Chains A and B, each alone.
Chain A
Amino acid sequence: MDYVLLTEQVLNGFQLGIILFLMAAGLTLVFGIMDLVNLAHGSLFMIGAFVGGTIALLTGSFVLGVLLMIPAMLVIGIVVEMTTLRTLYPRDHLDQVLATFGLILFFNEAVRLIWGPEGLVVPLPSWLDGVVALGFGITYPVYRIFTIIVGLLVAFGLYLLVGKTRIGMLIRAGASNRTMAGALGVNIPKLFTLVFGIGAVLAGLAGLIITPITQAAIGMGEDVLILAFVVIVVGGIGSIRGAFIASIVTGLIDTLGRSFLDDILLFFMPSNAAESAGPAVSSMLIYILMAAILFFRPQGLFPPKGAGG
């Protein structure tokens, strides 16, 4: 097997995993704490890409785009939460699915109206454009390494926030027993708004990070959203640790499956069959994994303690 290619694909898989984690972390917090199914989380991914990308293009600085995107997404997240989602907390999951489905249509069309149907191309700053040698003849794009580092830093920061700070303690208290935390004097509605805002920033960051590689496009968050669903189901709803591990595993399996499954299948079947079965099976791989895990552990790999299932 080609080790240069293997290393590259492992890193790519890791990068996909990081993007998934940024999405899944927000989703799993919103699920875990507010018991809200939010399909529009993918829209926040898209809005982050468009808003941050526009700022980057206007100011000519990608870093400024990232930095200014954060307060922008926080505000957008809080507005969406306070205007619409707040009324959905006491509703059943069906109502939440439908209302947030309506929000997706609205956001997609709003982005089409503001930015036009073509999407947005955001160039990389010159210092991030290029490749770096990793030794053993392996080179890898600087920007992709940059995304992995940013993602890991955010994951670590989130771990500190949830695990070590007072706000994190309140979040965990809200997640394990909302009523009890409220009775003890935690301002639950305010906490919800804050958590949703954090989730919106993380989703927006994920969307903006991916933009220089692909481009900002309408509906770009939807495929990522479904993968993030797979991640949080596998990881256990409400568990940040589960979301992290499941994200990386999903990213690796999906990326490696797509590049190497043809070769692996060659051991079992004739080459023309392997070539046609390869793409088909690899596109299904992570879903098969999800089904298998749920068959044995219906609550996911890391169900959060005390969340009542």
Chain B
Amino acid sequence: MSLFTPLRNPANMFTALVLVIFALTPFVAPLIGESFYITVFARIMIWAIAAVSLNLIIGYGGLISFGHAVYLGIGGYTVGILAFHGVESAWIQWPLAIGISGLVALIFGAISLRTRGVYFIMITLALAQMIFFLAVSAERYGSDDGLNILARSDFGVSFFSLQDKMTMYYTIFAVLVASVLVSWRLVNSRFGVVLRAAKSNDARVESIGVATYRYRLTAFVIAGMMCGIAGLLQANLEGFISPDMMNWPRSGELIFMVVLGGMSTLFGPVTGAFVFLMLSELLAGWTHHWHIIFGPFLVLVVLFARGGIAGLLSRGVRRG
């Protein structure tokens, strides 16, 4: 399977279009006098990274984690707390943020992967809320109100500074492309084959002598670390962290981005995040009460648009 499958499939065309928009926005947006789109798309790309990471476990592993936003929070809070104490070097912040995300994912995964089905959904949710309430109770770091981060991560070199808008934007873009590449390599490796096989029939894979628990746990940890990167980027972009970035509705939204774009497809989470957030932005600009439309929209997508955008567009091809 090649990453660059022909663009004859409308789903792939749509993906390519979204990626081109991401790549060119910093040049096009100022020309049409809409510079704020640079921040909007930077924000969307960060969510897309988180959604790509979630797709690894939900889409390919069949593990419905309802607490994935917690790693956004952990990545963000690691950067924020270090900056608060005067540690601004990216060489310390980033490895720590990724490492702590991985460690938390290891602990949470080890506990929750012992269970299945509904139990798994609720335990991942509860464990994530535990960290959320921990952040709420941390008065030193702003409790509910959150914490302003005065300076972005410092790489200590003159030619690469995240204070520069373009550098920040293209760093996020590069991380997004890298995370899709990583998940492509993972999914098509032996590791990915075991993961997908365990999703479709766990007992069979176990019976030929593969300990699926370890594979699932590894996938859970990789996804946590990847989402931790999204969190540290978010903290850097917004210059602000608060418990809300890991509150449970964020986890629900992440799942929705994955499903909307198309589960277990490589670029589905990217297009899903794009459509989800653009639609939110549009509706929110139209009416203050946009949730009254958005809520039923979510229900309808679940009931009628199986396979998400990727599924819809691919079906269109087969008919045509």
Contact = CB atoms under 8 A, between A and B. Distances in A.
Contact of B121 (A37, A107, A109): A37
Given A84-B299, A294-B123, A113 B255 contact: no
A280 B134 contact: yes
Given A94-B58, A291-B111, A294-B123, A102 B295 contact: yes
Interface stretch (A120-128, A180-188, A205-213, A229-237): A229-237
Contacts of A37: 118, 121
Nearest to B247: A222
Contact of A109 (B123, B259, B291): B291
B137 interface: yes
Interface string B111-131: 100110111011101110110
A276 B139 CA distance: 9
Contacts, number: 123
Contact of A98 (B259, B290, B292): B259
Chain A CB within 10 Å — which of B115, B129, B290, B296 has the most?
B129
Contact of A99 (B66, B136, B139, B299): B299
A129 interface: no
B64 A97 contact: yes
B7 interface: no
B133 A284 contact: yes
Using C-beta atoms within 8 Å of the partner chain, give the interface range for chain B. Answer: 35 or more
B291 A283 contact: no
Given A37-B118, A97-B66, A284-B134, A233 B298 contact: no
Task: Name the residue in A101, A108, A232, A299 with the highest tally of chain B Cβ atoms < 10 Å from its Cβ.
Answer: A101
Contacts of B114: 294-295, 298
Contacts of B290: 109
A283 B137 contact: yes
Nearest to B110: A295
B31 interface: no
Interface in B39-97: 58, 64, 66
B190 interface: no
Nearest to A105: B295
Interface string B282-320: 000000011110111111011100000000000000000
B118 A237 contact: yes
B interface SS class: helix
A284 B292 contact: no
A226 B129 contact: yes
Nearest to B289: A109
B280 to A, nearest CB: 11
A103 B129 contact: no
Contacts of A106: 291-292, 295-296, 299
A97 B252 CA distance: 8
A66 interface: no
Interface string A1-41: 00000000000000000000000000000010001010100
A287 B303 contact: no
B101 to A, nearest CB: 18
Nearest to B303: A87
B259 A94 contact: yes
A273 interface: no
Nearest to B114: A298
Contacts of A229: 122, 125-126
B220 interface: no
A257 B161 CA distance: 46
A245 B31 CA distance: 64
A290 interface: yes
Interface centre among A87, A105, A291 (most CB of B within 10 A): A105
Nearest to B143: A279
Given A97-B64, A99-B302, A222-B248, A283 B136 contact: yes
Interface in A158-201: none
Nearest to A219: B249
Contacts of B140: 276
Contacts of A232: 122
Contact of B126 (A39, A101, A113, A290): A290
A226 B118 contact: no
Given A106-B291, A106-B292, A226-B129, A99 B303 contact: yes
A98 B94 CA distance: 32
Given A84-B299, A109-B290, A276-B140, 15 more contacts: A37-B118, A39-B252, A87-B303, A93-B118, A94-B58, A97-B121, A97-B255, A98-B302, A99-B298, A99-B303, A102-B297, A109-B289, A110-B292, A233-B122, A287-B126
Q: A-B pairs with the 7 shortest C-beta distances?
A: A102-B298, A106-B295, A105-B295, A287-B130, A109-B291, A283-B133, A109-B292
Interface of A: 31, 35, 37, 39, 84, 87, 91, 93-95, 97-99, 101-110, 112-113, 222, 226, 229-230, 232-233, 237, 276, 279-280, 283-284, 287-288, 290-291, 294-295, 298-300
28 contacts: A84-B299, A93-B117, A98-B252, A98-B255, A99-B298, A101-B252, A103-B299, A106-B292, A106-B295, A107-B295, A222-B248, A226-B129, A229-B125, A230-B126, A237-B118, A237-B119, A280-B137, A283-B130, A283-B136, A284-B134, A287-B130, A291-B111, A294-B114, A295-B111, A298-B115, A298-B119, A299-B119, A300-B119
